Structure 1
Amino acid sequence: MRLFYPNHEEKAYRIAADAFAEYWLEITGEILKPEPVAGQLPSEGDLILIGADGANDFTHQLVKNRSIGSFDIRYGSDEYHMLSISEGKRDILVLAGGSGRSSIYAVYDFFRLRGKVEYFWDGDIFHYRGPVDVRNLDHAERPHFRYRGLRYFAHRGAHRFFPEMWDLDDWKKEIDWILKRRFNLFMLRIGMDDLFQRAFNLPYPPEDQADPDDSMLPHGRTALWTLRRRGKLREEVMAYARNRGLIHPEDTGAMSHWYTPAPSSFFEKHPDLPMLGNEKTPWYAQKNVAVWDIKSKQAVDLYWQLTEAHIREFGGGQPRMFHTIGLAERLYGETDEENLQLKLFTLRRTQAQVRRFYPDTPLLIAGWDLAMWWKSHDVKALCEELDPSKTIILDYNADQGGRSTFNDYETFKRFPWIFGMLHCLAFNNEMRGNYKMLCSRLAEAASDEKCLGFVLWPELSHSDTFAIEFVAGKSWDPTRLSASELVDDFCSRRYPVERSKAWNEIWKRAIRITGLVQWGEGEWPITAFDLEFHHRLLESEQFTELVPERIAYYRKRCAEVDSELSCIGTLFDLMAALPHAAYDSPQERRDMIDVARAEMNLTLRTMFMAYCVRLDAWRAGRQKPDDLKIAEEAIRKIFSALADLLEQNDDFSLRISLEKLKIFSPLNPVAETKLKENASCSYCRNQTSEVVRHLYLPEMDAYFKTMNEKIARDDRSPFVKFETDPEEKGDVSGFCELPVSKLKKEIAGRFIETPLSQMPFLKGPSRKNLVEALGAVKEALNDYFNLGGAA
Structure 2
Amino acid sequence: MKSQIIIFLIVTIFISSCDEPSSENNSNTPSEVLGRLMGQQSEIFDFELVQDDKKEWFKLSIEKERVKVQANSQIALCRGGYDYLKNECKGLISWSGNNINIPEKLPAVNRKVETPYQFRYYFNVVTHGYTTAYWDWNRWEKEIDWMAVHGLNMPLIGGAHEAILARVFHSMGLAQNDVDHYFSGPAHFPWNRMGNLNGWDGPLPDSYFDKQIELTHQILDRMYALGMTPIVHAFAGFVPKGIKKLYPNVKVRELGWGGGLPSDYNAYILAPDSPLFIEIGSRYIEEWEREFGKATYYLADSFNEMDVPEADNPAQQLEELAGFGKSVYESIKKANSEATWVMQGWTFPYHKDENGELFWTPERLQALVSEVPDDKLLILDMANEYNHDFWKIDPSWKMYDGFFGKKWIYSFIPNMGGKVPLNGILKTYATIPEQALQYHDRKNQVGFGFAPEGIENNEIIYELLSDMGWRETKIDLDRWIENYSTQRYGDYPEQLKLAFQQLRESCYGTFTDHPMHRYQFRPYSKPEGVEDHATVHQSDKFMLAVNT
The answer, yes or no, to whether TM exceeds 0.5 is yes
Q: State the TM-score, normalizing by the size of structure 2.
A: 0.75
Distance change (3 Å), C-alpha of 1:255 and 1:236: farther
What is the alpha-carbon distance in structure 2 between the residues aligned to residue 290 and residue 187 of structure 1? 24
CA contact (8 A) 1:399 1:421 kept: yes
Instruction: Return the alpha-carbon distance in structure 1 between the equivalents of residues 429 and 494 of structure 2.
Output: 25
Residue 74 of structure 2: aligned partner = 100
Rounded Cα–Cα distance in structure 2 between residues aligned with 1:220 and 1:489: 45
Shift of 1:444: 0.7
1:148 equivalenced with 2:142 (yes/no)? no
Q: Which residue of the partner structure matches residue 27 of structure 2? A: 13
- Letter of the 1:321 partner, please give it: Y
Choose which of 211, 223, 227 in structure 2 pairs with 1:241.
Answer: 223
SS at 1:51 equivalent: strand
Are 1:442 and 2:419 matched, yes or no? no
Question: What corresponds to 1:318 in structure 2?
Answer: 294
> Paired residue for 2:303, among 310, 327, 334?
327
Q: Where does residue 700 of structure 1 map in the other structure?
A: none
1:375 aligns with 2:361: yes
SS of corresponding position for 2:475: coil
1:344-401 Cα deviation digits (max 9, x unpaired): 2111222233344444444323213323241234335556665333433221122212
Please state how far the C-alpha of 1:190 moved relative to its aligned partner. 8.4
What is the rounded CA distance, in whole Å, between the counterparts of 1:368 and 1:312 in structure 2?
31
Q: Which of 455, 458, 467 matches 2:452? A: 458
Partners of 1:132 and 1:199 in 2: CA distance: 59
CA displacement, residues 436-490 of structure 1 (integer Å, 9 cap, x when unaligned): 4444532211214633222211322223212212221112214251344443343
Q: Which runs of 5 or more residues in structure 2 are unaligned? A: 1-17, 186-196, 352-358
1:343 corresponds, among 302, 321, 327, to 321
The residue number in structure 2 matching 1:591 is: 547
Counterpart contact for 2:23–2:48, Cα < 8 Å: no
Structure 2 residue 426 is the aligned partner of structure 1 residue 430: no
Deviation sequence 1:297-333 (CA, Å, 0-9, x none): 22211122223333332xx412122323233323212
Offset at residue 180 of structure 1 (A)? 0.8
Q: How far, CA to CA, are the matches of 1:10 and 1:344 in structure 2?
A: 49
Matches within 5 A, 1:224-303: 226-254=208-236, 256=238, 267=243, 270-272=246-248, 274-277=250-253, 279=255, 289-303=267-281
Q: Which residue of 2 aligns with 1:571?
A: 536
Match of 1:467 among 461, 465, 470: 461
Which of 558, 561, 566 in structure 1 is aligned with 2:524? 561
Counting only pairs closer than 5 Å after superposition, residues 156-195 of structure 1 correspond to structure 2 as: 162-189=131-158, 192-195=161-164
Shift of 1:94: 4.2
Deviation at 1:415, TM superposition (A): 5.2
Residue 51 (1) aligns with residue 56 (2): no
How far the C-alpha of 1:267 sits from its partner, in A, is 3.9
Work out whether residues 178 and 184 of structure 1, in 8 Å CA contact, stay in contact via their aligned partners in 2. Answer: yes
Measured after TM superposition, the shift of residue 205 of structure 1 is 8.0
Give the aligned partner of residue 80 of structure 1.
58
Give the Cα–Cα distance (whole angstroms) in 1 for the partners of residues 29 and 422 of structure 2.
Answer: 34
- Residues of 1 paired with 2:346 and 2:252: CA distance? 20
Code of the residue aligned with 1:144 in structure 2: it is: P
Q: Quick one: distance in 2 between partners of 1:437 and 1:575? A: 20
Contact conserved, 2:140 with 2:219, CA < 8 A, in 1? yes
SS of aligned partner of 1:589: helix
Superposed, 1:285-684 pairs within 5 Å as: 289-313=267-291, 316-328=292-304, 329-334=306-311, 337=314, 338-371=316-349, 372=351, 373-380=359-366, 386-400=372-386, 401=390, 402-403=392-393, 404-411=395-402, 416-426=407-417, 428-448=419-439, 450-479=444-473, 481-497=475-491, 500-515=493-508, 517-519=510-512, 530=514, 560-561=523-524, 563=526, 567-574=532-539, 589=545, 591=547
Letter of the 1:300 partner, please give it. Answer: I
1:125 paired with 2:116, answer: no
Question: Bigger radius of gyration, 1 or 2?
Answer: 1
How big is the shift at 1:166? 1.7
Alpha-carbon displacement from aligned partner over 1:531-578 (angstroms, at most 9, x marks no partner): 8699xxxxxxxxxxxxxxxxxxx9xx76x33757985410233466x6
Q: Contact 1:13 / 1:51 at 8 angstroms: preserved in 2?
A: yes
What is the distance in 2 between the residues matched to 1:590 and 1:340? 53
Q: Hey, what's the Cα distance between the residues in 2 that align with 1:8 and 1:294? A: 49
- What is the CA-CA distance between 1:295 and the residue it aligns to? 1.3
Given that 1:79 and 1:102 are in contact with CA atoms closer than 8 Å, whether structure 2 keeps it comes out as yes
SS at match of 1:277: strand
Deviations 1:400-436 (A, max 9, x none): 1212222222227965421111233216332222334
- Whole-angstrom CA distance in 1 between matches of 2:508 and 2:312: 39
Q: For residue 107 of structure 1, what is the amino acid of its counterpart? A: G
Residue aligned with 1:231, SS: helix
Residues 191 and 345 of structure 1: is their aligned pair in 2 closer, same or farther, counting only changes over 3 Å?
A: same
Question: Is 1:293–1:299's contact at 8 Å kept on the other side of the alignment?
Answer: yes
TM-fit CA distance, 1:151: 1.3
By how many angstroms is 1:143 displaced?
A: 0.7
Deviation, 1:175, is: 0.7
Instruction: Tell me by how many angstroms 1:194 deviates.
Output: 1.8
Q: Could you tell me which residue of structure 2 aligns to residue 70 of structure 1?
A: none
Between the aligned partners of 1:156 and 1:384, the Cα distance in structure 2 is 30
Letter of the 2:272 counterpart: I
Q: 1:148 to 1:242 in 2, by over 3 A?
A: same
2 CA distance for matches of 1:97 and 1:166?
31
Asked whether the equivalents of residues 281 and 332 of structure 2 are also in contact (C-alpha less than 8 Å), the reply is no
Relative to structure 1, the CA distance from residue 76 to residue 188 in structure 2 (aligned partners, 3 Å threshold; closer, same or farther) is: same
Structure 1 unmatched ranges of 5 or more: 33-46, 55-73, 257-261, 521-529, 535-553, 583-587, 593-791
2:252–2:268: 8 Å Cα contact kept in structure 1? yes
CA distance, structure 2, for counterparts of residue 474 and residue 52 of structure 1: 23
Count of aligned positions: 493
Rounded to whole Å, the distance in 2 between the matches of 1:112 and 1:489 is 9
Contact 2:526 2:533 in 1 (8 A): no
Q: Secondary structure of 1:246's match?
A: coil
CA change 1:217–1:250 in 2 (3 A) is closer
Identity %: 12
